[in-house]
Amino acid sequence: MKEILEKLGIAGEQQGAGTGSSRMECDGEILESVSPVNGQVIGKIRCARKGDYGQIVESSMRAFREWRMVPAPRRGEIVRQIGNALRARKKNLGELVSLEVGKIRVEGEGEVQEMIDIADFAVGQSRMLYGLTMHSERSEHRMYEQWHPMGPIGVITAFNFPVAVWAWNAMVGLIAGDTIVWKPSSKAPLAAIATMKIAWQVLKENGLPEGILSLVVGNRDQIGEPMIRDRRIPLISATGSVRMGKRIGEVVGERLGRTILELGGNNAIIVTRDADLDMAVRAIVFGAVGTAGQRCTTTRRIIVHEDVCDTLTDRLVKAYKQVKIGNPLEEDILMGPLIDREAVETMQAALKEIQNQQGRVLCGGEVLSGGIYDAGTYVRPCICEIGPHAPIVREETFAPILYIIRYKTPEDAIKYHNDVPQGLSSAIFTKDIQEAETFLSHRGSDCGIANVNIGTSGAEIGGAFGGEKETGGGRESGSDAWKAYMRRQTCTINWSKEMPLAQGIRFEVD
């Protein structure tokens, strides 16, 4: 642990606010980063307070006035260098992610790879910030639209993707000409600090001003609320719970600011009668067990045709019994710990409620003990069978609990699938083209992501990521998500010697 921290330059007490390479001195409370792997304190962070936050935003505003005038392809070149710097530190940074949030090694390094991938994507996008030209109804007029940088952007991230989600926003925001103020999860501050130190060094080497990328670690009262109320920040991009998202949407909406909200997921896979069960089992196990069930895209519900339900269930139970649980930095481990003991307690409460609602626990769910398990954060992933209308099925328990739900008709399957408040990721396993196309049609999945013969988890950065309903409606990462980080401007140029009005209106004065 000490070696990892030293290699990343974050050994010793860290400051919870920064705008670049120069050191800020915070005077807030001490936040301890506790590893769910073994319950040990990894490091200590001196949190920021309101005054520190104010300095951060002022610096970000000053930097924005300079950064927005840098040509977009040049901004892309800076992002390219940041991606390369992350690439060089992938192993160490991935290990830190594993230590701080409990992801297995390959997932920790995979998260860093997501940062690298979105940097590569953003470099290309920096030369493609396209607007449209439109034909004017007035003679000798030209109309077009263009996109301008928006301003300092606030990014609030959750513990389960402590660095990748920041990068989805920051890399695209940077090429758009914005500056970024990042409030990371208080459960994963060290990974954020390490990431920022890597990026700050790139900015420094290029002679760029401090404040282009900023970090502020602190609690809701001192940092969170001031940030979402701050009229100087035109856009807040937030990942977290539905309750948190509703609060942010309300406060930012009251000041007519913009939001990108990535909230709850209650993702389902429909397994049809003729599905390839070999493929389905592999996708389900990774989707439900990966990151210990703590992804927003985690597979939580399996809606399976009654003719193959018993066969699929037996295969899943067998596969679950083969999942190795333990120290996520060990090579053969497939599932690490939950983020903390509170998450374990939430899971155990959900299992009791499942039984109260006539559900059956088919396997797993136990809290593990002995050796490294004494951290109190390790559980066995759980499979339950339950009815489609049980109230708990409509909730998202952020833990490795998988519901098996039987269906008879394709119409029932889609009805059960859509009958939850959340709408992030979805999938169907089928060899029937009509079933597949129905699932992707207007009357099919109501989620922001819909897949055929792949699971709900593991979205690529090239597509826009986000969901509908209580998932928040936001979109990040690829496709045209860059537009959310810029302001659109419609321009009309009159190159005639006349002054015609639109819609043929005549308004003459002497």
Q: Which residues participate in catalysis according to the annotation? A: 262, 296
Other beta carbons within 10 angstroms of residue 356's beta carbon come to 11
And the tokens for 258? Answer: 């913009």
Q: Return the residue matching tokens 């996708």.
A: 283
Distances (CA, A) of 145 to 36, 67, 162, 235, 258: 50, 22, 36, 21, 20
Distance CA 475, CA 306 (A): 35
CB 385 within 8 A of CB 306: no
Backbone phi, then psi, for 342, in 5-degree steps? Answer: -60, -40
| DSSP-assigned states of every residue in 270-329 | EE-TT--HHHHHHHHHHHHHGGGG-STT-EEEEEEETTTHHHHHHHHHHHHTT--BS-TT
Q: Return the residue matching tokens 């977009």.
A: 72
SS3 431: coil
Q: What is the CA radius of gyration of the chain?
A: 25
Angle at which helices 105-125 and 72-88 pack, to 10 degrees? 160
CB 328 within 8 A of CB 291: no
Distance CA 468, CA 147 (A): 26
Side-chain half-sphere CA neighbours of 175 within 13 A: 32
Picking from 378, 383, 379, 384, the residue whose alpha carbon sits closest to that of residue 366 is 379
Type of residue numbered 81:
Q
Non-local CB neighbours of 388 within 8 Å, separated by 6+ positions = 303, 405, 407, 412, 416, 419
What b/e sequence results for 297-332 when a residue is b if at least 16 CB atoms lie within 10 Å of its CB, and e otherwise? bbbbbbbbbeebbeebbebbeebbeebebbbbbeee
- Any idea what the Cα angle at residue 249 is, between residues 248 and 254, rounded to 5°? 100
SS3 380: coil
Non-local CB neighbours of 101 within 8 Å, separated by 6+ positions = 36, 159, 160, 162, 187, 188, 191, 339
Picking from 102, 239, 263, the residue whose alpha carbon sits closest to that of residue 166 is 239
Question: H or E segment at 242?
Answer: helix 242-254
